[in-house]
């Protein structure tokens, strides 16, 4: 199935670093397949954060004392590590936020509200997460810009002919999800950025479901802005990243004001600190930055190519097993390089929330709902779907348990 | 087995598969619609009051959604007949859980109480105590 044939992951060894996977409810071991919502955290990350709190917890930037120096260096180095991980030029291009949603809002408020003009368009896709869809909707309302959506075809892929129609000289920015959190589709983001640039527009890519499970190079993609979250990539909650090209960040106004982001303040006016601190006011997520740094190191030790291969194989296996069931409706492209590590589906005659409750009887953790893509679900003609999403510690046996549990639902609802 | 399996006891599944009082009343005293955005459940409740303006004479519902929300609507539609509007307004979540006769896991309580909230809001709007187009369990 895979186009790489790298050495497979030693899943058994990996699982040992996640004590939570040993948990049992009613005598059954948890089967955690809700990784697109949040991934579990390996000991290496928990230990790094615990070490920070035990040994060098202090506030950053302003401290002259030893502890603050250590904390400041760790916090700054986390930026460097993220930059290296995603192919950015340096810490100036890496802003820490609370999560992907806040990264998106930073861009929308700082750049969008100031730059968008009536008649200009923001081109999204029909598979955008509410994080960008709702945000651009609101910014467009305030600025008089128009929001347009690139169609999703029946195969769950973007209609690139439609993209070429929509992206024109009126387009100010293209905002697209790298990997869909609902369909699993891996979008041709480099092609989208090129289209945007051909028309003098910027390109923002939502990488929340991409950075955790594949090698991402923002330079190769050509993205002007790119966002993702720590907690979906074996890191902690409370930290996200907005990547932006330095020249663009330089031009942008701060989104939040306060301490830590200023250079000089008088009673009349203020000037801003250097990048990226200009966008990071107040006490930042220091322990979380330490955790994210550790998570990147942990993932790179496995190798992002191998992570991708593992995810692709599991998703393809799950897709094929579910498709063979006959009464399961699947959404998005079939298994392969065009699908990330998740599968959304419905069992005929059973509402997604009922199915998910029944899965929980087997201690199988999956997600039911609209996955923050309501307009996409409207288009699919279903109120909700059940989503199984995978990570480095998941196995085929766990997918088998998911498929076996469908029988319970069939029996109850027959 | 955990809470979930208990949730799908025969009674619930029976009401889900064979909903009672399913449909719309021709000229209801009041009618109201609501939704549970979390599940995408939707319920419309139609109610006819007796001439005393107090007693619930007839209830019908239509809807779409998960088994818990639809079974609760079906059971409530029978339960309400003969009750007064005041008794309807006094009902709370515990009454619904008692009516369903199963433990409802915390994340599914909104599904269970949707029909009750819709009927209550419908009654309050009818009495002029509430202004609202649609009910949502997120309020």
Of B123, B62, B39, B56, the closest CA to residue B89 belongs to: B123
Q: Chain B residue closest to A408 (CA)? A: B5
* Domain range for B109: 3-130
Domain shared by A83 and A107, yes or no: yes
Q: What pLDDT is stored for residue A17 in this prediction?
A: 98
Q: What pLDDT is stored for residue B23 in this prediction?
A: 97
Q: Pick the residue with more confidence: B33 or A64? A: B33
- The reply to whether B136 falls in a domain is no
Q: What pLDDT is stored for residue B81 in this prediction?
A: 96
For chain A, the first-to-last Cα distance in angstroms comes to 35
- The reply to whether B138 falls in a domain is no
- The reply to whether B27 falls in a domain is yes
Concerning whether A372 is annotated as a catalytic residue, the answer is yes
- The reply to whether A4 falls in a domain is no
**pLDDT of B10 higher than 60:** yes
- The reply to whether A291 falls in a domain is yes
Task: Look at chain B and count its residues.
Answer: 139
- The reply to whether B135 falls in a domain is no
pLDDT in tens, A341-379: 999 999 999 999 999 999 999 999 999 988 888 889 888
Q: Which of A300, A322, A339 marks a domain boundary?
A: A300
- Per residue in B28-43, is it b (16+ CB within 10 Å) or e — as a string? bbbbbbbbbebbbbbb
Domain shared by A276 and A238, yes or no: yes
Report yes or no: B33 and B47 within 8 Å, Cβ to Cβ: no
The count of domains in chain B is 1
Q: Compute the average pLDDT of residues A276-305.
A: 97
Q: Pick the residue with more confidence: A236 or B38? A: A236
Q: Which of A284, A300, A316 marks a domain boundary?
A: A300
pLDDT in tens, A68-116: 999 999 999 999 999 999 999 999 999 999 999 999 999 999 999 999 9
Q: Chain A residue closest to B104 (CA)? A: A357
- Helix H or strand E encompassing B89: helix B85-90
For chain B, the first-to-last Cα distance in angstroms comes to 32
Report yes or no: A276 and A95 within 8 Å, Cβ to Cβ: yes
Q: What pLDDT is stored for residue A4 in this prediction?
A: 54
Domain shared by A76 and A213, yes or no: yes
* A350 Cβ neighbours under 8 A, 6+ residues apart: A358, A409, A410, A413
Provide the CATH number for the domain around residue A72: 3.40.640.10
**pLDDT of B2 higher than 60:** no
Domain shared by A352 and A290, yes or no: no
- The reply to whether A365 falls in a domain is yes
- The reply to whether B70 falls in a domain is yes
- The reply to whether A326 falls in a domain is yes
C-alpha to C-alpha distances, A102 to A157, A241, A242, A256, nearest whole angstrom:
27, 9, 9, 11
pLDDT in tens, B54-104: 999 999 999 999 999 999 999 999 999 999 999 999 999 999 999 998 888
Provide the CATH number for the domain around residue A16: 3.90.1150.10
**pLDDT of A67 higher than 80:** yes
Domain shared by A357 and A368, yes or no: yes
Q: Which of A276, A300, A324 marks a domain boundary?
A: A300
**pLDDT of A2 higher than 50:** no
| Smallest Cα distance from A361 to chain B, Å | 5
Q: What pLDDT is stored for residue B4 in this prediction?
A: 47
Domain shared by A188 and A321, yes or no: no
* B98 Cβ neighbours under 8 A, 6+ residues apart: none
pLDDT in tens, A146-192: 999 999 999 999 999 999 999 999 999 999 999 999 999 999 999 99
Q: Pick the residue with more confidence: A344 or B37? A: A344
Domain shared by A309 and A331, yes or no: yes
Provide the CATH number for the domain around residue B54: 3.90.1010.10
CA distance B106 to B110: 8
- The reply to whether A52 falls in a domain is yes
* Domain range for A342: 11-32+303-413
B contacts of A26 (beta carbons < 8 Å):
1-2
Q: What pLDDT is stored for residue B34 in this prediction?
A: 95
Q: What pLDDT is stored for residue B41 in this prediction?
A: 87
Q: What pLDDT is stored for residue B5 in this prediction?
A: 57
Domain shared by A73 and A132, yes or no: yes
Q: What pLDDT is stored for residue A1 in this prediction?
A: 42
CA distance A82 to A79: 5
Q: What pLDDT is stored for residue A381 in this prediction?
A: 87
Domain shared by A250 and A353, yes or no: no
Q: Is A34 on the interface with B (CB under 8 A)?
A: no
- The reply to whether B71 falls in a domain is yes
Task: Look at chain A and count its residues.
Answer: 414
Domain shared by A193 and A284, yes or no: yes
- The reply to whether A263 falls in a domain is yes
pLDDT in tens, A119-140: 999 999 999 999 999 999 999 9
The count of domains in chain A is 2
Q: What pLDDT is stored for residue A255 in this prediction?
A: 92
**Pairwise CB contact (< 8 Å): A384 & B39:** yes
- The reply to whether A268 falls in a domain is yes
Mean of all residue pLDDT scores within chain A: 95
**Residue of B39, B68, B100 to mutate, testing the A interface (most A Cβ within 10 Å of its Cβ):** B39
């Amino acid at each position: 199935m895979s186009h790489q044939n790298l050495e497979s992951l030693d899943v058994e060894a990996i699982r040992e670093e996640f004590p939570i996977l040993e948990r049992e409810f009613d005598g059954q071991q948890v089967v955690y397949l809700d990784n697109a919502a949040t991934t579990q955290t390996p000991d290496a990350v928990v230990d790094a954060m615990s070490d920070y709190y035990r040994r060098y917890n202090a506030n950053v930037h302003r401290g002259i004392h030893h502890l603050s120096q250590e904390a400041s260096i760790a916090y700054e180095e986390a930026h460097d590590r993220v930059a290296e991980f995603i192919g950015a030029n340096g810490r100036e291009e890496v802003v820490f936020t609370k999560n992907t949603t806040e990264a998106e809002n930073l861009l929308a408020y700082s750049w969008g509200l100031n730059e968008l003009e009536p008649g200009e368009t923001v081109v999204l896709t029909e598979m955008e997460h509410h994080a960008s869809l709702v945000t651009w909707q609101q910014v467009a309302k305030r600025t008089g810009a128009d929001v347009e959506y690139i169609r999703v075809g029946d195969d769950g892929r973007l209609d690139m002919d439609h993209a070429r129609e929509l992206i024109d000289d009126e387009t100010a920015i293209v905002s697209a999800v790298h990997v869909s959190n609902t369909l699993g589709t891996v979008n041709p983001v480099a092609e989208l950025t090129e289209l945007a640039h051909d028309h003098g527009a910027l390109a923002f890519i939502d990488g929340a479901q991409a950075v955790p499970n594949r090698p991402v190079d923002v330079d190769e993609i050509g993205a002007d802005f790119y966002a993702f979250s720590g907690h979906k990539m074996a890191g902690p909650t409370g930290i996200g990243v907005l990547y932006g090209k330095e020249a663009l960040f330089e031009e942008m106004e701060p989104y939040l004001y306060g301490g830590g982001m200023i250079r000089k303040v008088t009673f009349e006016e203020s000037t801003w600190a250097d990048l990226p601190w200009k966008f990071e006011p107040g006490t930042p997520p220091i322990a979380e930055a330490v955790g994210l740094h550790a998570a990147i190191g942990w993932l790179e030790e496995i190798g992002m190519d191998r992570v991708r291969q593992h995810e692709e194989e599991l998703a393809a296996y799950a897709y094929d097993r579910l498709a063979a069931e006959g009464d399961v409706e699947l959404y998005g492209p079939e298994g392969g390089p065009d699908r990330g590590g998740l599968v959304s589906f419905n069992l005929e005659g059973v509402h997604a929330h009922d199915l998910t409750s029944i899965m929980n009887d087997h201690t199988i953790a999956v997600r039911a709902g609209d996955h923050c893509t309501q307009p996409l679900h409207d288009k699919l003609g279903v109120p909700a779907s059940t989503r199984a999403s995978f990570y480095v510690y998941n196995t085929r046996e766990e997918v088998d348990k998911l498929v076996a549990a469908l029988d319970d639902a069939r029996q109850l609802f027959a | 087995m955990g809470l979930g399996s208990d949730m799908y006891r025969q009674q619930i599944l029976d009401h889900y598969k064979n909903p009672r009082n399913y449909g719309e009343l021709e000229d209801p005293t009041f009618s109201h619609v609501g939704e549970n955005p979390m599940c995408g459940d939707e319920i419309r409740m139609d109610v006819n009051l007796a001439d005393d303006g107090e007693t619930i004479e007839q209830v019908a519902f239509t809807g779409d959604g998960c088994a818990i929300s639809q079974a609760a609507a079906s059971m409530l539609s029978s339960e309400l007949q003969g009750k007064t509007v005041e008794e309807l307004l006094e009902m709370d979540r515990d009454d619904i859980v008692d009516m369903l006769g199963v433990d409802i896991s915390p994340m599914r309580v909104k599904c269970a109480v949707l029909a009750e909230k819709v009927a209550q809001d419908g009654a309050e709007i009818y009495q002029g105590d509430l202004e609202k187009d649609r009910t949502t369990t997120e309020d």
